[in-house]
Chain A
């Protein structure tokens, strides 16, 4: 079964601390994985995708197929990083563009 698991509902850190938001997936095929973010009073938007291997706003995520993980990391958290983060998997191997989302992790960065 296709599934995305985000074990932490809430992650609280102080500004300047490292951040790691965990994401594990279950998928029989070659997954495409994404992190989406929703800032307060804004719509859900793409943060980054694993195929791009890019760093966005200081965030990176590496796909680890052995551990079936796609954790989101940032070495030094900023207050403006406070938001809801969703890990998502695309069912592209099944010829569909639909996304399967995790339950989300709320990141709170305190000053």
Chain B
């Protein structure tokens, strides 16, 4: 299995500011995934973070809005920039281990 610590668990932010979410895994992994879960909707993949290279973003998500860092094989951060109310959502990090996905507990972001 994989144990993922994600923080903060929740935050309330002013529009126009940024929030950085941290994800720590208990063992080394090649890829880390960042998902967004908007109210009443499914989990949508934002990007895949590889250590030592640029993150790969899904359609509709751009680096300027969601910059990602991956300084080593156990840690990643996702920043949600220039916040607007539409960014209010739950953000999840995830890793795979033997075809099973493990998730952090999520960060609930509210933009006011």
Residues of chain A having any CB pair with chain B under 8 Å: 4, 32, 34, 36, 43-46, 49, 51, 86, 88, 90, 92, 96-104
Contact = CB atoms under 8 A, between A and B. Distances in A.
Overall SS of chain A's interface: strand
Contact of A101 (B42, B96, B100, B102): B42
Interface of B: 31, 33, 41-45, 48, 92, 94, 96, 99-106
B42 A86 contact: yes
Contacts of A86: 42-43
Contacts, number: 44
B69 to A, nearest CB: 19
A100 B106 CA distance: 18
A50 B100 CA distance: 12
Contacts of B44: 101
A101 B48 contact: no
A32 to B, nearest CB: 7
Given A43-B103, A98-B33, 10 more contacts: A34-B101, A36-B101, A43-B104, A44-B103, A49-B100, A96-B48, A97-B96, A98-B45, A99-B101, A101-B44
